[in-house]
């Protein structure tokens, strides 16, 4: 029989909501009187995005991109393929990329270089989880929910083989199960 990969709760729904509230406050204060666009990276960020925007008290627009990273030699993505591009122009606007979790940063580093060519006023990153010990590419992460060690987690938009995105809490997940 197949073992259930779902482990114990890593961060409860309540812990996540408290932190998302704080992140919303920080973003509201930072971008007061600026033209702000929140850019969610599909699919993992969709739950975080939905909660985050309800805690941002200044006017802003939002957009989504879907990207797939190509696995290059040694497992590092060589190029990012854009599966769904932005709907609106970001030229002259302040962009905050919203991510579920940042690991090596390879995919996002590539995407930021790509977006910079469109001349936004600024680009920053807001990530719910930062596995900073694995970072290869330095990124402008101004808003971090939680720093996490090298454990695999699911829930709150994040998946293992496309499952568990619906769970309101974050759970440890045994990817060898
Ligand atoms: P990287 O920063 O380019 O190495 O890749 C980060 C991406 O890998 C995230 O946006 C997630 O989609 C995925 N990912 C990394 N760690 C986890 C995890 O613990 N659970 C679910 N997805 C993960
Ligand atoms: Mg992702």
Atom 14 (ligand 1) nearest CA: 101
pLDDT band at 165 (very low <50, low <70, confident <90, very high): very high
Please identify which residue in the block is written with the tokens 């702000």.
Answer: 36
pLDDT at position 142 is: 94
Q: Residue 158 CA: which ligand 1 atom is closest?
A: 21
The pLDDT of residue 72 is above 60: no
pLDDT band at 2 (very low <50, low <70, confident <90, very high): confident
Ligand 1-lining residues (CB < 6 angstroms): 44, 99-108, 152-154, 158
Atom 13 (ligand 1) nearest CA: 101
The pLDDT of residue 166 is above 80: yes
pLDDT band at 69 (very low <50, low <70, confident <90, very high): confident
- Tell whether 168 is covered by a domain: no
- Per cent of the chain over pLDDT 90 is 87
Give the mean model confidence (pLDDT) for residues 66-77. Answer: 66
- Tell whether 158 is covered by a domain: no
pLDDT at position 53 is: 98
How far does residue 32's CA lie from ligand 2's centre (Å)?
27
pLDDT at position 70 is: 58
- Tell whether 2 is covered by a domain: no
How far does residue 125's CA lie from ligand 2's centre (Å)?
13
How far is 26 from 91, CA to CA, in rounded Å? 23
Query: What backbone torsions phi and psi does residue 172 show, to the nearest 5 degrees?
Result: -70, 150
- Per cent of the chain over pLDDT 70 is 94
- Tell whether 111 is covered by a domain: yes
How far is 69 from 73, CA to CA, in rounded Å? 13
How far does residue 103's CA lie from ligand 1's centre (Å)?
6
- Tell whether 1 is covered by a domain: no
**How many beta carbons lie within 10 A of that of residue 41, not counting itself?**
21
Domain around 25: 13-71+78-150
- Tell whether 165 is covered by a domain: no
Give the mean model confidence (pLDDT) for residues 127-150. Answer: 95
Pocket test of ligand 1: the residue of 64, 126, 141, 158 to mutate, having most ligand atoms within 8 Å of its CB, is 158
Q: Which residues are catalytic?
A: 103
- Tell whether 171 is covered by a domain: no
**How many domains is the chain built from?**
1
pLDDT at position 81 is: 87
pLDDT band at 3 (very low <50, low <70, confident <90, very high): confident
Decide: pTM greater than 0.75.
yes
The pLDDT of residue 91 is above 70: yes
Based on the number of CB atoms within 10 Å of its own CB, is 161 exposed (0-12), middle (13-18) or buried (19 or more)? exposed
């Amino acid at each position: 029989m197949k073992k259930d990969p779902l482990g114990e709760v890593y961060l409860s729904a309540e812990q996540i909501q408290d932190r998302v509230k704080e992140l919303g406050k920080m973003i509201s204060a930072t971008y007061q009187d600026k033209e702000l666009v929140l850019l969610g990276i599909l699919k993992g960020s969709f739950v975080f995005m939905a909660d985050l925007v309800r805690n941002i008290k200044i006017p802003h627009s939002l957009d989504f991109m879907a990207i797939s990273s190509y696995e290059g030699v040694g497992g590092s993505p060589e190029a990012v393929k854009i599966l769904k591009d932005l709907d609106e122009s970001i030229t002259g606007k302040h962009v905050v990329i919203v991510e579920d979790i940042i690991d090596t940063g390879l995919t996002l580093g590539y995407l930021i270089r790509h977006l910079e060519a469109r001349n936004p006023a600024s680009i920053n990153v807001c990530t719910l989880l930062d596995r900073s010990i694995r970072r290869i590419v330095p990124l402008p992460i101004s808003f971090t929910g939680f720093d996490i060690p090298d454990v695999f987690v699911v829930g709150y938009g994040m998946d293992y083989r496309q499952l568990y995105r619906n769970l309101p809490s974050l759970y440890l997940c045994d990817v060898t199960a």
